[in-house]
Amino acid sequence: MEERDVGPLRFVLDLSQPIYEQIVEQMSGAIARGDLDLGEKLPSVRDLAQGLKAAPNTVVHAYQELEREGLIETRRGQGTFVTTSTSVVHEFRTTLAKELAAQFLQQMRRLGFSLTDIQHLLWERGKGGNKT
């Protein structure tokens, strides 16, 4: 794992995994968490590629995917920016949360836990605050 800072972004890269996927995952996560402000200017393709030691086409591909998801927008002559739409970010966060919850429930059921067991475990864990 390697950490690389590029502009306002910090990437933790696993060089055994596709860089494109890591850029999409980490940038969408930063947007969903609010680490990147709505309307914030993102590094140029060239700057991000240099900072990550990746091919510019890799960054272009990642930016295109994030644009398809509505999380970023390119403004001709100005650069690439985080979306200004709070509803797009909220919808993305909600969709992601539902997917993660479904995966968690599926894994817990495979382990033999009932919904009541899962609720109890979450309740007990939640009483401890934010401790991990």
One DSSP character per residue, 35-54 reads SS-TTPBPPPHHHHHHHHT-
Summarised one tens digit per residue, pLDDT across range 109-127 is 999 999 999 999 999 988 8
The dihedral region occupied by 20, where left means phi > 0, alpha psi between -120 and 50, and beta the remainder, is alpha
What is the average pLDDT score of the chain? 93
pLDDT band at 130 (very low <50, low <70, confident <90, very high): low
Statement: 2-82 belongs to CATH 1.10.10.10: yes
Q: Cα(40)–Cα(30) distance, rounded to whole angstroms? A: 12
Summarised one tens digit per residue, pLDDT across range 80-99 is 999 999 999 999 999 999 99
pLDDT at position 82 is 97
pLDDT at position 7 is 85
